[in-house]
């Protein structure tokens, strides 16, 4: 059994990204991202500060615009439009979840797709499905990068994606399909789920249910990519897969923490920097 840790690939990518940012700055390009954070969600607050710290490490300017919880949809909409039209702003992120009273769909559609660092605008999913990706959601891209780093075979393999969210499950299923896998996409209404997961050569899980996938749901030759981020009853950070018992059975597995999560931020800034490189060469 092999544990698919992301640390080595994260370290490699950081070196490459730092050098790319240095080269951009030599050409007068100063990468600048604005993150909009509405309210006081503790997890979002922590995550936004983690991204800011990582951006600083790379030499990228990332500013957090903290708006009060009572901010309404129109106010937030106009703030995004302001950022869209600010030529000094290269990238925009909206921390999720937004407060319940805000129209999430309107806000997502308001973001300029070209500045959308998290690829939450539906245009990106449409582009991915038509084989002309503009930006790929960072978590699915991180999962693929992790599989590639550990030299996973894709062509002809049976891939099962558990979870169908627009930001993880659906784009990851499409990426696996483009890698020539035969893909099954499962969700809450899927019947006989365990029968399907046991057929998987590559099993990816993103459902937000702590330790949901157990050893009896996998086959010994499977590679399991756990994308879940949860806290169990003891307050311990765990994934959607019961790690110890599944790890004892399968060929390979990504841990939580230390798997897809750290690589997600790397993919965010990797795509952002590559966009700036392309634009600077036009």
> Which residues have C-beta within 8 Å of that of residue 103, sequence separation ≥ 6?
73
List phi, psi (to 5°) of 92: -130, 135
Going by C-alpha positions, the residue among 189, 147, 200, 131 that lies closest to residue 164 is 189
- How far is Cα 127 from Cα 278, in angstroms, rounded to an integer? 17
Q: Is 165 annotated as a binding residue?
A: yes
Token readout for 224 is: 């399991």
Q: Is 213 annotated as a binding residue?
A: no
Q: Is 229 annotated as a binding residue?
A: yes
DSSP 59-110: T-EEEEEEE-TT--HHHHHHHHHHHHT-TT--EEEE-SSPPTTS-HHHHHHH
Tell me if 186 sits within 8 A of 193, measured CB to CB.
yes
List phi, psi (to 5°) of 86: -90, 110
- How far is Cα 201 from Cα 61, in angstroms, rounded to an integer? 41
Q: Is 223 annotated as a binding residue?
A: no
Tell me if 119 sits within 8 A of 128, measured CB to CB.
no
Binding-site residues from annotation? 163-165, 229
Binding-site residues from annotation for NADP(+)? 163-165, 229
């Amino acid at each position: 059994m092999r544990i698919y840790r992301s640390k080595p690939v994260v370290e490699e990518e950081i070196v490459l990204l730092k050098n790319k940012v240095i080269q951009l700055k030599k050409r007068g390009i100063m990468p600048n991202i604005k993150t909009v954070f509405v309210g006081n969600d503790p997890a979002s607050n922590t995550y936004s500060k983690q991204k800011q710290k990582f951006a600083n490490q790379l030499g990228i300017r990332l500013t957090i615009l903290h708006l009060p919880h009572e901010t309404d949809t129109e106010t937030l909409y106009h703030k995004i439009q302001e950022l869209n039209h600010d030529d000094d702003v290269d990238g925009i992120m909206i921390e999720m979840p937004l407060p319940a009273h805000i129209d999430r769909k309107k806000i997502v559609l308001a973001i300029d797709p070209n500045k959308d660092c998290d690829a939450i605008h539906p245009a990106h999913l449409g582009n991915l499905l038509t084989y002309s990706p503009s930006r790929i959601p960072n978590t699915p891209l991180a999962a693929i990068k992790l599989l590639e780093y550990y030299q996973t075979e894709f062509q002809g393999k049976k891939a099962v994606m558990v979870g169908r969210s627009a930001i993880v499950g659906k784009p990851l299923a499409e990426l696996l399909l483009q890698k020539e896998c035969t893909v099954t996409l499962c969700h809450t209404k899927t019947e006989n789920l365990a029968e399907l997961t046991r057929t998987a050569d590559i099993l990816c899980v993103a459902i937000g249910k702590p330790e949901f996938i157990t050893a009896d749901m996998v086959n010994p030759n499977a590679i399991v990519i756990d994308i879940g981020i949860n806290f169990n009853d003891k307050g311990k950070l765990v994934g959607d897969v019961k790690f110890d018992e599944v790890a004892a059975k399968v060929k390979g597995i990504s841990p939580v923490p230390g798997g897809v999560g750290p690589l997600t931020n790397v993919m965010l800034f990797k795509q952002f920097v590559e966009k700036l490189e392309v634009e600077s060469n036009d």
